[in-house]
Structure 1
């Protein structure tokens, strides 16, 4: 078997040599949710594009070693769109009526007002920070945003990059400013034109499958910017935990493609057309599948920098990966858009009922095609009768027939912040104070994490909803621009650090050779002159 091709992920993908861990090749497979072939001569196929060309390509992939996949738009309408559209229409109506029914901080009419809450609202209206709890140790930014972090050289570099950026400059308020409108536009509006994706299926160590969608187009002519470091960087994008490929994920991939990145979208088992070939789904914060996917991406692009971006509830997977891998991670920098940090409390408290019902309906419809295959391991009747996200999560991963565990044990293994102290990669979290899904930042964000950990940075804005951060069309979401600019600042910072380290090593070797030569010529050197020489060198280095 040969080595992986060096061509970009848009062309035909030759099969790479198999490393020691994992099996990465095409093979005939049977999706647990697929019906058996109608004719005796028809074999099982790979579920891929929803067109005739996709079915022909799936049949051709049954020959071992063929990995080509047709390009297909990633924003096709889902089969459950009619049911979910009704719920989202109700949410849209609530979002349009939100400014009339809610206060400046998103409190519903009739909701109990805490002492001092009105004063905080007045400060917000007068131009204060998004949250008083984060005022200590935060740096002001344009547009009413603030950066919460521990002081360091990296923080100063990121702060300078954000203050120079014109993306955060406040613009005219419009109908897109409401948090519900921002959130709904993010979840239901398609991106036009849809990106072209080339899919790879990755067989894991336990014979499960995950999918990698490489974004290969379209790219506006004359706007592609080459990477300053030479090789284009790979941008790994992790969607939300429900498997919904949203407008902003596709928009981020298109923008990154124009900026010289190789975007690739990671899909979990059974998500977004990825076949479920074994009766095992990925728990909320289990990064084992992501580890193998990152190892494969590193195998295909060994010299390219790797950045990662997660969306919403998908941030639990990225944070778990960074915590478990620590300094051995292949990721250079990461960003989380509207992350869910206190996941257990988030499940136990519940979401506003329209969002809770919408996300729950989405998951039930996604897993309904695998109901027969999951009967041996999961109580499917209890699963599909669940009335909340917590009940659904418990029925799927805790109350299993083979190895049941408690709710506490489940979160001991899947809490994304369980190993956060081991993370050694800069992580930028972009959050909004009016997030209707995560809730107010003083209850959902861990302040001590950003004040004590030098690798975590919080960009807190006043408006943006949940994963929205939209601007007037045709401009992309400003969170996308901020993420790519922060990655560029990280690249320049690390490049400067390498230069300084090389310069210090050169100076140390040069001074060492001079000292050795001076010792041969003059054996007696006063201790005071030695101390003065060392002190002056350290002063010049630290400057």
Structure 2
């Protein structure tokens, strides 16, 4: 409780200090506080990559932004899809950040508004599905609905023929459901999507069925969850959105599954792409302390269960995010590899050349959590890979991108999904198209292809094939049992006993 009180007082002090310094127009590049929390003064040119040849980070840092709007740069490899996106996505060229005296000009306040979950009345409710994995572990899927969750439980069993697209949302690797995720669920519902939030083992109230946590870039559980979603919604397209460190899991999944990922398109909001370097670098103390404290609080719930397989003393006495991650998954005590070997199997970009669907990464230059773009973003990757697109704004913070009306990042990714779907569906038959993922029915067959698995990573484990209806897949056994028991004991009238002797 004392730590939270100190954190709140620090936030109020920094906000007041920033307002005074903005009023006095005092800027000092040597001040560590403003360098970590203040606004990044580097701005970019307000043109896309097709008109100016993909601006480099150094050239884009010298041009001032126009009043009331921040410039946006689209960094990608010139292609027919890139031209189609620029033509059909108005948000790719304009970021209405408001006045420079507004609180939105501060990346610190933008980050706090997007990451912290403020107590507010929301029309979104969640209905949870617990999925039983192949190793008896449990993950959870929270389906977002507008209304009561009880009504959704009664209706969702007859909604398998719905053609509404599914929006799979992957939160950060710490399991925190942020304001950004809640707003994305609301926007998705308004646009006809079926949002569903993926919760890892032991996170966000998910029971820890086995004493095993999910590694940073291990997509095994996500692969089974995607198969379940396709089983439940076979007629709707599937899109995926991740935020912050959760982008490592999404990119790992896309790289391992390739063209058989079942996804039509994907997007990453403020992704951490060079994860090992991010853990090794010295994150600003305020963000570092908050993330470390939150992760320890979540792990303390399973301290007794995890004490059988991991050194809990080293976990809770660690003073850095790297030390905590290393104590959980590395070293001879837990049977893991070294720190370098761990990231050889969990680095999100290890199989990025196998990504076969359009992926949009929405980032800001003043992101205080990720760091400077020229040091933390692999710009050369976006210049060479035709499936990856980097939308770089001058403002936005980390998972913020707040505007006077709505979150700019949400509008950008929804427009990206629509434009990429139209292009891959054959809207421009004369233009070369990207390879779209081939789907197959839940029962298999010759009309589709199975997921390709390569032996380059220890996380690549073949997924179990889905059986034909009416048999249930393994991860539906728990839900089917609960449903049968509820129907049996709640709706079956008692059988009367016979009275007297029966001839």
Q: TM-score, normalised by structure 2?
A: 0.73
Please tell me whether residue 345 in structure 1 is matched to residue 264 in structure 2. Answer: no
Match of 2:408 among 478, 491, 498: 478
1:527: which partner in 2?
Answer: none
1:492: which partner in 2?
Answer: 422
Alignment gaps of 5+ in structure 1? 1-79, 114-119, 220-229, 502-543
1:29: which partner in 2?
Answer: none
CA contact (8 A) 2:71 2:93 kept: no
1:124: which partner in 2?
Answer: 43
1:308: which partner in 2?
Answer: 240
Please tell me whether residue 293 in structure 1 is matched to residue 225 in structure 2. Answer: yes
Closer/same/farther in 2, CA of residues 195 and 152 from structure 1, 3 Å limit = same
Alignment gaps of 5+ in structure 2? 49-53, 149-161, 432-503
CA contact (8 A) 2:47 2:72 kept: no
Closer/same/farther in 2, CA of residues 295 and 127 from structure 1, 3 Å limit = closer
1:277: which partner in 2?
Answer: 209
Q: CA deviation at 1:262?
A: 0.3
Q: CA deviation at 1:301?
A: 1.1
Q: CA deviation at 1:92?
A: 4.6
Distance 1:364 1:112 in 2: 28
Written as runs of structure 1 = structure 2, the 5 A alignment for 1:381-392 is 381-392=313-324
Distance 1:96 1:348 in 2: 32
Match of 2:10 among 72, 81, 90: 90
Match of 1:186 among 89, 102, 114: 114
Match of 1:267 among 199, 203, 207: 199
Please give the secondary structure, in 2, of the residue aligned with 1:468. coil
1:196: which partner in 2?
Answer: 125
Distance 1:105 1:448 in 2: 32
Please tell me whether residue 109 in structure 1 is matched to residue 39 in structure 2. Answer: no
CA contact (8 A) 1:95 1:179 kept: no
Please give the secondary structure, in 2, of the residue aligned with 1:257. helix
Per mean C-alpha deviation after superposition, the further-off stretch among 402-411 and 422-431 is: 402-411
Distance 1:274 1:110 in 2: 39
Please give the secondary structure, in 1, of the residue aligned with 2:425. helix
Written as runs of structure 1 = structure 2, the 5 A alignment for 1:73-472 is 83-84=3-4, 86-98=6-18, 107-109=29-31, 124=43, 132-133=56-57, 143-163=70-90, 168-169=95-96, 171-173=98-100, 174-188=102-116, 189-218=118-147, 231-399=163-331, 401-472=333-404
Distance 1:393 1:124 in 2: 35
Closer/same/farther in 2, CA of residues 101 and 438 from structure 1, 3 Å limit = farther
Closer/same/farther in 2, CA of residues 269 and 89 from structure 1, 3 Å limit = farther
Q: CA deviation at 1:299?
A: 1.1
Closer/same/farther in 2, CA of residues 257 and 112 from structure 1, 3 Å limit = closer
Closer/same/farther in 2, CA of residues 128 and 351 from structure 1, 3 Å limit = farther
Closer/same/farther in 2, CA of residues 391 and 110 from structure 1, 3 Å limit = closer
Q: TM-score, normalised by structure 1?
A: 0.68
CA contact (8 A) 1:191 1:247 kept: no
Q: CA deviation at 1:446?
A: 0.2
Q: CA deviation at 1:376?
A: 1.4
Distance 1:150 1:127 in 2: 18
1:505: which partner in 2?
Answer: none
Q: CA deviation at 1:248?
A: 0.8
CA contact (8 A) 2:43 2:71 kept: no
CA contact (8 A) 1:101 1:109 kept: no
Between the two proteins, the alignment pairs up a number of residues equal to 400
CA contact (8 A) 1:234 1:262 kept: yes
Distance 2:262 2:379 in 1: 27
CA contact (8 A) 2:46 2:73 kept: no
Q: CA deviation at 1:393?
A: 0.3
Please give the secondary structure, in 2, of the residue aligned with 1:143. coil
CA contact (8 A) 1:235 1:306 kept: yes
Q: CA deviation at 1:185?
A: 1.3
Please give the secondary structure, in 1, of the residue aligned with 2:70. helix
Distance 1:151 1:466 in 2: 27
- Higher relative contact order, structure no. (Cα contacts within 8 Å, ≥ 6 residues apart): 2
Q: Give a deviation string over 1:181-233, Cα, whole Å, max 9, x none.
A: 011112222453252001000010110000000001149xxxxxxxxxx9211
Q: CA deviation at 1:167?
A: 6.4
Distance 2:373 2:382 in 1: 13
Q: CA deviation at 1:256?
A: 0.6
Distance 1:256 1:430 in 2: 17
Q: Give a deviation string over 1:390-414, Cα, whole Å, max 9, x none.
A: 0000001103634132001100000
**RMSD across aligned positions (CA):** 3.1
Please give the secondary structure, in 1, of the residue aligned with 2:43. helix
Closer/same/farther in 2, CA of residues 128 and 215 from structure 1, 3 Å limit = closer
2:475: which partner in 1?
Answer: none
Q: CA deviation at 1:278?
A: 0.6
